[in-house]
Structure 1
Amino acid sequence: MLNFLLRRILAGLATLLVALFLMYLLVDRAIDPLQDLLESTAPNKQQLIDARIDQLNLDTNVVVRFFQWFGNLLTGDFGIAWRSGQAVGDLLAHAIGSTLQLVTAATVLSLVVGVTVGIVSALRQYSGFDYGIIFLSFLLYSLPSFWVAVLLKQWAAIGFNDFLKDPVIAWSVIAGISALAGLFWSLAVGGRAARRWQVFGVAFAATFAMFTYLQLSGWWERPQIGPLLLLILAGGSAVAIAAVFAGVHNRRAMWTGLTTVGVGLALYLPMQVVFDSIDVNNWIIFGFAVLAMAVGFLIGRLYGGPDWGISARTGAAVAFITGGLIYVDQVMQVWPPYFRALSGRPIPTFGDRTPNLGGNYWVGVLDSFTHLLLPTATLVLIAFAAYTRYSRSSMLEVMSQDYIRTARAKGLPERAVVVRHGFRNTLIPLATIVPIDIITLIGGAVITEAVFARPGMGQLFVRSLEQAEIEPVMGYLLITATLAIIANIVADIVYASIDPRIRLDA
């Protein structure tokens, strides 16, 4: 492993140096810092041109200028954006922070949803659900991102803001949504006709009951999770996680998940007091998340048994979800003042924060979330289509292998065959795709950021090119190239950790 890392790091540094040199030559050739002056009609035009040539050192050979820039870079000096006078390091810090928020949310959501739906689609091959997912994934994959973004601005932002003026949903619409939910789950679960009708009825009733609760409780005016929804959502997650990864007959895992939910419910009110009495920040929230997962892991360990590891992992996953729901509930509690501060239109269509908003940590989190909502949805819809196709094709290939037939012949339940033998090997192709996709997004979802006027890496790159500022462009290229090299190394390591046949030091 150490030899592999050393070789790849040295090769990556050499590649980075060559790439930066070539890009510096190309960018210098592509931009013209004197263009605005050459088109000027000022009487002292030549003086202004000479002053800018001296300011930007343009009379020096481009190769010499590259090594001057690179030498400054080794000392930690990224340069200055000459038009604004701002330090490039500060510009990059703000841009990459905004982009990382977007990339993290979009990647996690698209991976979880896309891989899950793709695997279910493969397990229901040639069914109505499979055909529907294939059609949907091809449709979303072919749509231009700017068109999806514009539609979301119109219907998910402007339309929802208008809906909040009088948040009442017609009962016929609720019935239609419930019917679609019932149809989706009946096709996803599959089975005989009687079972499908049973699943349809349960899903229809659950969806209709949920929307009835939202309608009659005034949830749209004051959204919150509260103990009741916490019990339903966390309890349902506990049952689902235990059933999928341990089986419905593994009582220790099932009781671990339910006990973890009970502990979360018991701590719901005390955590409200804790959040109100301390100065909360992201590091404290991270610490609480780690502590919650440790408690869930401990609960699973205390239940014991020969397969206590499955119970412990189930407890940790359920604890993370339960803690996340409590965190979201705390954020929702500041919705009324936030709603009033934005004049009843809380879903923004541009930027990454509301200017001069004020408020505490929770208001800032809610404001960041509302600004992330539309651009994240845009990226998720596009990426979901790709990850669904990848995971479906990979799962179909894996489930046709000899070792899957052997596992079934040994009498293993279908759940164990799919989860323990199929799912892990399905992730192998994704291990090489996902890291590269993440770095591509960090490089800037240029079109999405442009539509939503989000000041991320892509916008910084485009704006710097338009203004003929080479230092910000090179800073952008340095970060994206470095992350691309790291992503390739990480992809190899993840690939080897998933597939034991791969040896990094071979």
Structure 2
Amino acid sequence: MIGFVLRRIGVSVLILVAASFVMFNLVALSTDPLADLRESNNPNKQQLIQARIQIAHLDVSPPVRWAMWLGGVAKCLIPFANQCDLGTNFHGAPVTELLPTAMGSTVQMVTGALVLAILFGLMTGILSAIRENSGFDSSFTVISLFLFSLPSFLAAAMLKSFVAIGYNNFLQDPVIPIWVSLLLGVVMGVIVQAVVGGDARRRLLAFGINFVVTSGLLIYMSATGWFLTPNIGPFGIIVITVAMAIGLTALLAGLHQRKALITAGIVSVIGIITYFVIQPLLDVATPILVIGLGLLAIAVGLAVGWFVGGDDRKQNMRLGAILAFLISFLILIDRFMQSFPGYMSDMNGRPLATVGSSTPGYDPGNMWRSGLDVFFHLVLPTVSLLVISFAQYTRYSRAGMIEVLGQDYVRTARAKGMPERVVVVRHAFRNVLIPITTLVATDLGALLGGAIITEYIFAIPGMGQLFQASLGPGDIYPVMGYFLVIAVMAITFNFLADLSYAALDPRVRVR
């Protein structure tokens, strides 16, 4: 194992060095970093040219400049030396100071898009495979193919033109007509009954319940002005927590498992009590405190699962940890919702932004409003990246699940009388994750690359904008900083994907 890791690190370093040499020389030979100054009418043009030549070392040949840059990169590997040198841009700003700021916005956007794409893509793909050739499967096949072929710049432009403007206009008079609520209830009912499947009576029952719940909620929210003062509230927290406990138990263990039900019940009660106790503390919360509370909640869920024990203690611990995390996330969302009226007032009633990663100069002194500001600035770029990645995960997970469900070991599991939940979740799903793991590693690099277009359209000061703004005038050191970050992340995630194969499939061993 150690030998494999060392070999991969050595090969990765060689690849990075060779690729950086090619990239550096291509940029240096294909751009003219002095073109704008030569065309300038500034009286001190020659002084400016000489200053740029000195800053960017333009009097040195590209291969020598690359060697100088590589020496600065090597200093970054010395721990605690604080000598990392990736060069400076034309204005004298160190690249090491530009990258962290640019990476912050890009990582937030790409991480959100990637996580949501994986979750929604896997769920939709697996449901499509289980309901193969059904109306649900056919509908989402068409939708995923459409989204996959949709250019990222077109998706971004449509989101800006229709979603942002439409949502902000809606908040001026947030009333949903009753016929629209009923229509959305019909749509939700049709989708859910297609997912549930079964005989006509079961489908009709699923349709009716979801039609009533969806339409009723929309009518209630419209009548009470919920869109202007959103919140989940104590009653909502209790209902959703109980629903999550039942759903997770049914999915991970089965409702016949008494120990799993006890675990879910204890964690749910602790979570509901915590919601009421923790409210005063959340008024003065900081990001570090919130993260600490989230980790504590997961630890409590693991402890409850361990103490309850049972025939499958690991399963109960997993159930307790996931449920504790979801309850914590629910409480967090409710607290952000409570801060929405104040934030909306700060934004003059138009909270959904179309440019930038945050409002310039906005400092409410409140973690929750600051978080809402970042959310409303990054939600559209995230969705723009999400729709394309979602289509990929849907198609891959559907194809993988259909293939796995036809394997001999799955037929054997069904022949033994195992419930369909166990066959899908424990036997089939784990093998589907193997190709998905490879896709995640490659998709991360693609998302970062695609963020160039998305960040340009939404004017987000991220890695993509740094690359685009530096490549045109031939400002080579920020370009190489972008290349270094992208290359290191791509190689690292591909390496982690190789290692994860052994955890997902016991037949795979790293030698």
| CA deviation string 1:1-28 (max 9, x = no partner) | 2111111001111111111111111110
**What pairs with 1:279-358 in structure 2 (closer than 5 Å)?**
280-358=285-363
TM-superposed deviation, 1:393 = 0.2
Q: Which amino acid letter does the alignment assign opposite residue 62 of structure 1?
A: P
Counting matched residue pairs gives 502
Which residue of 1 is the match for residue 13 of structure 2?
A: 13
1:146 aligns with 2:153: yes
Which residue of 2 is the match for residue 89 of structure 1?
A: 96
Alignment partner of 1:391 out of 397, 401, 406: 397
TM-superposed deviation, 1:471 = 0.7
How many Å separate the matches in 1 of 2:268 and 2:189? 27
CA change 1:439–1:285 in 2 (3 A) is: farther
1:216 aligns with 2:223: yes
How many Å separate the matches in 2 of 1:450 and 1:206? 41
CA change 1:52–1:263 in 2 (3 A) is: closer
| CA deviation string 1:191-233 (max 9, x = no partner) | 1111100111111112122213312332111111111111222
Which residue of 2 is the match for residue 464 of structure 1?
A: 470
How many Å separate the matches in 2 of 1:282 and 1:295? 20
Q: Which amino acid letter does the alignment assign opposite residue 454 of structure 2?
A: T
Contact 1:146–1:448 (8 Å) recurs in 2: yes
Alignment partner of 1:473 out of 470, 476, 479: 479
Unaligned runs of at least 5 residues, structure 1: none
1:131 aligns with 2:138: yes
1:80 aligns with 2:80: no
| CA deviation string 1:416-443 (max 9, x = no partner) | 1111100101111001110221233234
CA change 1:172–1:57 in 2 (3 A) is: same
State the TM-score, normalizing by the size of structure 2: 0.95
How many Å separate the matches in 2 of 1:205 and 1:365? 34
Contact 2:109–2:378 (8 Å) recurs in 1: yes
TM-superposed deviation, 1:47 = 5.9
1:239 aligns with 2:250: no
**What pairs with 1:23-172 in structure 2 (closer than 5 Å)?**
23-41=23-41, 49-75=49-75, 76-82=84-90, 84-172=91-179
Unaligned runs of at least 5 residues, structure 2: 76-83
1:230 aligns with 2:237: yes
CA change 1:331–1:43 in 2 (3 A) is: closer
Contact 1:435–1:491 (8 Å) recurs in 2: yes
Alignment partner of 2:386 out of 345, 370, 380: 380
Q: Which amino acid letter does the alignment assign opposite residue 375 of structure 1?
A: P
How many Å separate the matches in 2 of 1:81 and 1:35? 16
How many Å separate the matches in 1 of 2:445 and 2:48? 41
| CA deviation string 1:302-338 (max 9, x = no partner) | 3321123222211111111110111111122211111
How many Å separate the matches in 2 of 1:457 and 1:48? 27
**What pairs with 1:181-220 in structure 2 (closer than 5 Å)?**
181-220=188-227
TM-superposed deviation, 1:79 = 1.4
TM-superposed deviation, 1:44 = 6.4
Which residue of 1 is the match for residue 433 of structure 2?
A: 427
Residue 379 of structure 2 aligns to a residue whose secondary structure is: helix
**What pairs with 1:477-496 in structure 2 (closer than 5 Å)?**
477-496=483-502
How many Å separate the matches in 1 of 2:47 and 2:273? 75
1:504 aligns with 2:506: no
| CA deviation string 1:381-437 (max 9, x = no partner) | 111111000000000000000110111111211111111100101111001110221
How many Å separate the matches in 1 of 2:12 and 2:362? 43
| CA deviation string 1:464-502 (max 9, x = no partner) | 112321110111111111111111111101122111111
CA change 1:30–1:233 in 2 (3 A) is: farther
CA change 1:346–1:45 in 2 (3 A) is: closer
How many Å separate the matches in 2 of 1:312 and 1:466? 53
Mean CA deviation greater in 408-417 or 112-121: 408-417
Residue 244 of structure 1 aligns to a residue whose secondary structure is: helix
Alignment partner of 1:404 out of 410, 413, 434: 410
How many Å separate the matches in 2 of 1:265 and 1:57? 62
How many Å separate the matches in 1 of 2:426 and 2:203? 26
Mean CA deviation greater in 389-398 or 153-162: 153-162
Mean CA deviation greater in 163-172 or 241-250: 241-250
1:370 aligns with 2:370: no
How many Å separate the matches in 2 of 1:410 and 1:47? 83
Residue 306 of structure 1 aligns to a residue whose secondary structure is: coil
How many Å separate the matches in 2 of 1:47 and 1:90? 26
Q: Which amino acid letter does the alignment assign opposite residue 401 of structure 1?
A: Q
State the TM-score, normalizing by the size of structure 1: 0.96
Contact 1:443–1:457 (8 Å) recurs in 2: no
Residue 445 of structure 1 aligns to a residue whose secondary structure is: helix
How many Å separate the matches in 1 of 2:48 and 2:194? 71
TM-superposed deviation, 1:372 = 1.6
Q: Which amino acid letter does the alignment assign opposite residue 135 of structure 1?
A: V
How many Å separate the matches in 1 of 2:145 and 2:252? 30
1:418 aligns with 2:424: yes
How many Å separate the matches in 1 of 2:308 and 2:105? 43
CA change 1:96–1:47 in 2 (3 A) is: closer
Mean CA deviation greater in 147-156 or 253-262: 253-262
TM-superposed deviation, 1:186 = 0.2
Residue 88 of structure 2 aligns to a residue whose secondary structure is: coil
